[in-house]
């Protein structure tokens, strides 16, 4: 993967969960990595990346334009986002700025400055829940304002397909070291600290995908975008394990790898349950040549080992 050497990458969202792993991988491969950060960005997730990393503070349009004036980028990874699960009118303006206006300027500058390709990051929350596998043509039914901003920007992206190849990776349920405090780290914390945990009925199915597999998909996407036949194109790709697991099954796996029993208080279905989401990954497999390597058991085992060391 990444057959060509000495790429220069621009990454947004480098301080987030997925972005920090991507930056670490690109740096380890010897590429030049440039990251856009805010003045108040928490850099703890990328504190172990010491080579080939260049941080650029951008607070306005002028800063971004100057960045492109001073550096030549081969490819851009866009992972930065403002996420809020629940809608709050007071946040809509900043979400529009972060999730629509900023990346729209970014792709405009990419087209203007002959960037070779642009990889956007989407989410399974853009789709309607479904008891069957969700492919890239499945019904869109965003369940919050965040998802609507992601769909809006993806529509804007397609304006630029005459200038550079573009792809969107729609990530399903990511997990792994340095994750935010979501379901799986919450289960780990409950195990290690012998805390009871309250969950809803737990029958809804999600598609957990380990972070290393996610980063592999970004690398495969760069290889694909760099081929001459993809000079002008747009594609979206679902990135998941392709296998559905209920919350109860995930709990069972955590108990298995930890050799412990979780004290779970199962409740009734909750209005905030997301429903069933799991990915049809056949398009990513056939076009990008990407397939996930980690089973749920393997990914959870690796994550749990690191989580214990840091706890």
Cα 92 to Cα 73: distance, rounded to the nearest angstrom: 31
Evaluate if residue 271 carries a pLDDT over 70: no
Cα 177 to Cα 188: distance, rounded to the nearest angstrom: 12
Residues forming beta bridges with residue 55, ordered by sequence position: 35
Only one residue has tokens 């012998």, namely: 194
Residues in CB range of 70: below 8 A, 6 or more apart: none
pLDDT for position 248: 96
Which pair of structure tokens corresponds to residue 113?
């400055």
Q: What is the mean pLDDT of residues 74-100?
A: 93
Please name the fold of domain 8-176+209-242+279-293: Rossmann fold (3.40.50)
Cα 187 to Cα 307: distance, rounded to the nearest angstrom: 11
Compute the radius of gyration of the chain from its Cα atoms. 19
Cα 237 to Cα 287: distance, rounded to the nearest angstrom: 9
Evaluate if residue 102 carries a pLDDT over 80: yes
Q: From residue 42, how far is each of 12, 13, 53, 61 by CA, in Å?
A: 14, 11, 16, 22
SS3 201: coil
Q: What is the mean pLDDT of residues 39-48?
A: 92
Residues 97, 131 contacting (CB under 8 angstroms): no
Which pair of structure tokens corresponds to residue 29?
């491969």
pLDDT digits (tens, 9 = 90+) for 157-195: 999 999 999 999 999 999 999 999 899 999 999 999 999
pLDDT for position 226: 87
Q: What is the mean pLDDT of residues 190-201?
A: 92
Q: For residue 86, what is the DSSP state?
A: S
Residues 273, 200 contacting (CB under 8 angstroms): yes
> What kind and span of H or E run contains 236?
strand 234-239
Residues 173, 277 contacting (CB under 8 angstroms): yes
Cα 117 to Cα 164: distance, rounded to the nearest angstrom: 6
Closest CA to 284 of 228, 230, 224, 206: 224
Between 91-95, 118-122, 227-231, 265-269, the lowest mean confidence (pLDDT) is in 227-231
CA atoms 145, 9, 181, 136: torsion sign: positive
Angle at 158 between CA 285 and CA 139, to 5 degrees: 60
- Among left, alpha and beta (phi > 0; psi -120 to 50; other), residue 242 is left
Q: What is the mean pLDDT of residues 7-36?
A: 96
Residues in CB range of 226: below 8 A, 6 or more apart: 3, 4, 116, 117
- Among left, alpha and beta (phi > 0; psi -120 to 50; other), residue 71 is beta
> What's the predicted TM-score (pTM) here?
0.94
């Amino acid at each position: 993967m990444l057959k060509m050497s000495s790429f220069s990458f621009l990454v947004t969202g480098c301080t987030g969960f997925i972005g920090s792993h991507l930056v670490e991988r690109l740096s380890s491969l010897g590429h030049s990595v440039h990251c856009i950060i805010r003045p108040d960005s928490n850099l703890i997730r990328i504190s172990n990346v010491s080579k080939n990393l260049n941080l650029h503070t951008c607070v306005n349009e002028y800063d971004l334009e100057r960045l492109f004036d001073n550096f030549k980028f081969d490819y851009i990874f866009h992972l930065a986002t403002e996420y809020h699960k629940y809608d709050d009118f007071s946040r809509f303006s900043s979400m529009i700025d972060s999730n629509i206006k900023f990346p729209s300027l970014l792709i405009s500058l990419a087209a203007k400055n002959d960037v070779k390709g642009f990889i956007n990051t989407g989410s399974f929350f853009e789709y309607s829940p479904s008891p069957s596998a969700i492919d890239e043509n499945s019904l869109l039914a965003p369940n919050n304002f965040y998802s609507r901003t992601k769909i809006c920007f993806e529509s804007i992206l397609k304006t630029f397909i005459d200038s550079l190849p573009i792809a969107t990776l729609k990530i399903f349920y990511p997990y792994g070291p340095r994750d935010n405090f979501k379901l799986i780290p919450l289960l780990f914390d409950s195990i290690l600290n012998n805390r009871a945990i309250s969950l809803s009925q737990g029958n809804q199915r999600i598609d957990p995908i380990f972070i290393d597999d996610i980063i592999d998909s970004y690398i495969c996407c760069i290889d694909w975008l760099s081929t001459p036949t993809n000079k002008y194109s747009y594609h979206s790709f679902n990135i998941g394990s392709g296998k559905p697991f209920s919350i109860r099954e995930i709990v069972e796996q955590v108990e298995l790898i930890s050799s412990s029993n979780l004290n779970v208080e199962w409740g009734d279905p909750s209005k905030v349950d997301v429903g069933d989401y799991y990915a049809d990954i056949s398009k990513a497999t056939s076009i990008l040549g990407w397939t996930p390597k980690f089973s749920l058991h393997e990914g959870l085992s690796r994550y749990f080992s690191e989580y214990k060391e840091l706890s």
